[in-house]
Amino acid sequence: MTKCFKWTAMIGVAAAAISCALIAGAVPGFAQAAKDPFVGTWKLNPSLSTMVPADQKSKIVVNSARPNGILITETVETTSGEKKIYKIPYVYGGKFTPQNVSPLYDMLAVERITPYSVHWTLRNKGKAAGDATQDVSKGEKILTMVAHIKLPTGEMVTQKSVFEKQAP
């Protein structure tokens, strides 16, 4: 897309806009990512969420479009005031993507169920480690994630996180 803006000086605004639109339509996943309702900045609503671990005071999630997927940047503040930042990349289509943000999973596969719903499959060392669903409301203002995660003890825990959209 940066090249599109460089072309503007050479061929004029109207021609550049048409060229950029044609490129967006020709690159697989590019146009889809631009319309993806998961993209944006989301703020955790703690009163509607159950969190594991319970020491999370606040969480901001920025979902950035990437070809055929998302890069999640999570900023978590703990009740002790510690700030942690996590990066979670994934692609749509069920292909596993390596992860390094949690000792609970090292691979993540995401499949789009509907335009507003995705299913996550988590693995750790080749074994099932949990799953999750993410749903964006039809008005694209609320993102709800329900995750079932296997702890090192073998216990399965459920976490519900409800986020409100802050910015597109």
Residue 18 has pLDDT above 50, yes or no: no
Q: What is the mean pLDDT of residues 51-75?
A: 90
CA angle at 82 for the pair 78 and 88, rounded to the nearest 5°: 75
CATH topology of domain 41-167: Lipocalin (2.40.128)
Residue 92 has pLDDT above 90, yes or no: yes
What was the pLDDT predicted at 135? Answer: 98
pTM of the predicted model as reported, rounded to 2 decimal places:
0.77
What confidence category does residue 56 fall into, taking pLDDT thresholds of 50, 70 and 90? confident
What confidence category does residue 53 fall into, taking pLDDT thresholds of 50, 70 and 90? confident
What average pLDDT is seen over the chain? 83
What was the pLDDT predicted at 113? Answer: 97
What confidence category does residue 57 fall into, taking pLDDT thresholds of 50, 70 and 90? confident
What was the pLDDT predicted at 140? Answer: 96
Q: Which residues of 82-107 are buried (b: 16+ CB within 10 A; e: fewer)?
A: eeeeeebbbbbeeeeeebebeebbbb
* Chain region(s) in the chain for CATH 2.40.128.20: 41-167
* Cα distance between residue 62 and residue 58, in whole Å: 14
Extract the tokens encoding 165: 């959209």
Residue 153 has pLDDT above 60, yes or no: yes
What was the pLDDT predicted at 17? Answer: 31
